[in-house]
Amino acid sequence: MTTSEMPTGPLSGVRIVDLTSMISGPVATMLLADQGADVIKVESLSGDLVRGAGPNRAGITSTFISSNRSKRAIAVDLKTPAGVEVLRKLIKTADVLVQNFRPGTIERMGFGEGTVRELKSDIIYVSISGFGEKGPFSHQRVYDPVIQALSGLASIQADGETGRPKMIRTIIPDKTTALTAAQAITAALFSRERTGEGQHIKLAMLDTMVSYLWPEGMSGFTLVGKEVKSARAQLSPDLIFATQDGYITAGAMSNIEWQGMCTALGHLEWLEDERFLTTNDRAVNVTARLTMTGDVLATNTSAYWLERLDANGVPCAPVLSREEVITHPQIVANDLIHESDHPIAGRIRQPRPAALFDKTPSAIQRPAPGLGEHNAELLTELGYSVAQIQGLSDDGVIVGMPDPE
């Protein structure tokens, strides 16, 4: 990679070897790649399972595109001595290695933390697992719904009438783990700048989600001896209100917001209701308060209520469909959704990186790679000759690369 091709952003110059698959690891490294890190996705000869799972065009799925952009990719058989040597050489050039195999797998492959540290003493070594490295679940395979169930998230989402647990229809534990991993990696890189020492980061999806839920989802269990029963916590209505022509959300936490809500809804007498005098009163009597609010909001249109609520300083918004999100005026004003041409999938649509850096801007550095797309490029950087690269291809150690020139 020439200097002109170096990624831009706050992490430019950092190299990450990405041995992860599925969602949590790939999204974590993608966030860092968007911020300028040179992320090298190392795949088996069959590729990441997500390449073939879900809606696709020309054999590459939308989920893979949106979890692996800004990276380079190499596909290598790590069951062969030659493939192992490729990865060993790659690790020697890296600042970070990230893997999300089940505990014990990476050690059997010959790339446990101790072995890798012998190759690069100051490397940041990241192990993402489902449940942790010990305990009764540590050996199990894991997908997002399993963590939703075990962390209490499905219970928190339980149906208010029947109490039946419900899954969130997006992979919150996977993506929350990705964000946590990306933050931990940058913290470890900062620490290394100060101390010169690398370290081993261990991150379990289960730990991530319980910690994520704790501030409010598990708040009833913070005060020891004053726990709130789960059933009581989950039976109150949510903040989705039906109007005459759709749905909106609106909430009033502070006294001034509650005053605005009562004014907008035309019920100033609620301000004198003893059930709603203070923030705590309104929290204790949340079911009555939200039921009364919903009954009023059902009498007119979304546009009518949103205008009145906003005019009185009440946080509110329409509940948008996914189609409506893309063209909403606030999304457009933020210049959030960009279209581009992917060399395999054709025209695609993606959000830009969310964090806007004014001195070292992040960006979508390159489209999500094809399987082994950068084999020749990366192997050349590692010192392999054209003949050696061709030999690796002929021997089936690498796949997916164009013929070296």
- Report CA 340 to chain centroid distance, whole Å: 22
Residues sharing a CB contact under 8 Å with residue 197, sequence separation 6 or more, in sequence order: 122, 191
Distance CA(296)–CA(170), nearest Å, equals: 31
Distance CA(67)–CA(158), nearest Å, equals: 29
Token pair for 240: 């989705």
Distance CA(80)–CA(71), nearest Å, equals: 24
Residues sharing a CB contact under 8 Å with residue 330, sequence separation 6 or more, in sequence order: none
Token pair for 188: 């470890």
The DSSP line for 381-397 is HTT--HHHHHHHHHTTS
Angle between helices 255-265 and 286-297 (to 10 degrees): 30
* Residue 395 known to be catalytic: no
List 18, 48, 144, 174, catalytic entry = 174
Residues labelled as active-site residues? 174
